[in-house]
Amino acid sequence: MTEFLHKYFTTGEFAKICHVKKQTLFHYDEIGLLQPEIKLENGYRYYSYQQYEIFIVIELLKDLNMPLKEIRNFLRNKTPDEAVHLLQNQLIQIDNKIQKLNHTKTIVKTKMQNIKEAMKVNLESISIEEIDASILLISTNILNASDKEYLNAVTDFIDLCNNNELYTGHPIGAILSKDQMTKKQFGNYSYLYTMMPQDFFSSSKIVKPAGTYVIGYHKGDDENIESSYIKIFEFIELHHLKMKDYSYEEYILDEISVNGEENYATKIMIQVESD
């Protein structure tokens, strides 16, 4: 008998090759999920190398959030057809997880790149730059919205982005019309937006036009943004330019990279043309 058992693993040996604690195997045995192939009267338990394949299947299905009870029922009543069907379903779940992870990876990479670029910015600077066209996903119109309407619009926009995996790490910005800038109603935005890939198609998209933009920055919370706009307006007048239709605002430094709203940084982009 002893010579025969040399072909089997003790509980400790089997736990080691499975990279789990012995208590895990004891639990699997207790609930009838994976029982030792041999149990001796003295309490010693022995596993065969073939059972390692069963253990791998158990761990695979656990990783895919299949309950232990369902795994046990499958292992007790499995057939080749059922195995193929189960594994096909798991492949679908794996593909979904990969898609979600790739989306998360895109968000992380975009945010990291945006923060790196923001670190190079002189927040006191105002410049004139040529900007390429970009595709923006926009919210419902929030011009002259009440506080409740504004909050509902923000919630709906964020839900739209999240539920359809449209958010890619670019900041959620706000569009301010020339009319509101002229009236100094700097918190009365027309739309919220976030940047989309060039091939994005939706009825909720607009194109931020290519052209000449004056770009300035505001440090701190939005309540004091008027002072930053005034500096940009003076710059525009000094360079004999005039504003076109909209200003585009977006955070380049926010709570993910700095502590406190007083350290936030907002990028302000106003399209201009020669006066």
pTM of the model: 0.76
C-alpha to C-alpha distances, 83 to 77, 89, 251, nearest whole angstrom: 10, 10, 51
Which pLDDT tens digits describe the chain residue by residue (275 residues)? 455 556 889 999 999 999 999 999 999 999 999 999 998 888 888 999 899 999 999 998 898 888 999 999 988 888 888 888 888 988 898 899 899 999 999 999 999 999 999 999 999 999 999 999 999 999 999 999 999 999 999 999 999 998 888 999 999 999 999 999 999 999 999 999 999 988 888 888 899 999 999 999 999 988 899 999 999 999 999 999 999 999 999 999 998 899 988 999 999 999 999 87
The span from the CA of 204 to the CA of 192, in Å, is 11
Domains and CATH numbers, the chain: 2-78 (1.10.1660.10), 116-274 (3.20.80.10)
What DSSP state is assigned to residue 52?
H
| Model pLDDT for residues 236-249, shown as the tens digit of each residue | 999 999 999 999 99
The span from the CA of 157 to the CA of 159, in Å, is 5
Instruction: Classify each residue of 221-257 as buried b or exposed e, where b means 16 or more C-beta atoms within 10 Å of its C-beta.
Output: eeeebeebbebbbebbeeeebebeebbbbbbbbbeeb
